[in-house]
Structure 1
Amino acid sequence: ILLHLIDLLDPRVTFADRLCYLAEALQIARSTSAALLSTSQQIKSSSDSQLTELIPTLEQRLQTAFVQKQIYTDLQMYMRALETHTITSTIINDDLQQHIEHIQYSIKKLDSALFDATELFVDYAQKYELYECQLLLLQLDGNEEPTILQTIWRRLLRKEVNDLFPSTANVTGGDYERIMILQQHLIERLRNCRKKRLRLPMDFIRGELKQIAHTLNNLSDHGDIVSSEDFSNQILSDL
């Protein structure tokens, strides 16, 4: 019954409901498997083989569902930020309004069913630049291809920079405080990724941090305002 409810096409069944059903189904499967260990070999041979296949499938689906939950939460936070922006803005262009509608639709869809890792990656994590979720999904899929991981890490780090330092803006000596804020943001982001046991390619990240410092210095009208070595060391030493 629980397995049926997990994928039931019914708008009244929310994502939270499906997550509970999935967790409960896994718990029951594990308990049943443990109970079978004490039964006769004859009973085990007919029943345990099904559980042997079912338990890993449920575990994988539950891990994927937790990533879906993070995507759902991240999009809700993004939506609230956009709504705040529209309240304070005097002009809302058509592109922004359309973007908001797309996010609202995505949030509604995420709450209506459980999706597999590929759907979550392509239709949500990649589309909305949710880089931590991309890394989580790749890790669940067992994808350790260095080029893909490095590309995502580069985009993740650059997004933090672009949020504080648009590429069209010059950096001045007075922006040193913003650089310190950027450092703290990067430290917190990397700590969060480590907490989630994401793979951190440290040599690559160190190189990217140095390149970020170099980019900030290039935007400056007053020469180098931050040492690339100090910038990367201060971030990585605080992890």
Structure 2
Amino acid sequence: MSVFVILGLLVCIEAQGSSALTLVIVKKGGDVLLEVINADGLKDFSFVEWNFKRTAILVRFSPGRDPVVSPGYTGRLEFPVKNYSVNLKNLQHTDSGVYTARVFGFKGEQTLAKYMVIVRDPVSPVDLTVDSVSNSSDSCKVTVTCRTQDSHISSTFRCDTQTCSQEGGEQSKVTTSGASLQVYLDLNGSIICNHSNQVSWAKDIKMTEKFCPQHADSESLSPGISVCLVKTVVFSVGLIIMVSAVITVHLMEKLKKKK
């Protein structure tokens, strides 16, 4: 639902505004840089002003004077560069909305920059639990559940002596808070539960070899031990060939002496 609300706001804002809108999603408590790109060419103007929702004034810049910060934003604004850009700190949900930089002069006003800022909560932690394990002589089946505060998904994985694969259940879903919840296998065969949105992520991991002894046995032989076995075989064959060559030369020397 939140995605449709955001898209609706963007459509309305674009229809009313005269400059491009930049969407920025920020984690709650984080900072956002509201940047003015083309400010070097400004001439003969009275002041530059940043507004929130077109009514609340953040700061006003006048030529040759220090920035004047509104009381409601004292201690929350920084000016990292001298081009009328501002850094707004410690954002809360009430700071979500449209921020506009406008220049005022004798010829009226002009929009310099416009940002749609959305403040999002970080995702909650996840918990990956193993619900059941079914073993046979050549494979095993593991059913897991990945849980967050407001959602969960369950999935089944099957492992044999060579590989593991996702056999059934859910792989991903969008939670009620608009985050993504996924459960999948990584390249090492571990089961990953991942909870993420645009500003944060959390994950929990389970190792398949803890539940699937067949797969663990195959993993234990590869790649380190298998490489070691190959080296041992090559070394042994080489040693046998060398010893055989020495014995052959020694026998030939004896035959020559007898003749």
Q: TM-score, normalised by structure 1?
A: 0.24
Higher helix fraction (1 or 2): 1
More strand by share: 2
Query: Higher relative contact order by CA 8 Å / sep ≥ 6: 1 or 2?
Result: 1
TM-score by length of 2: 0.23
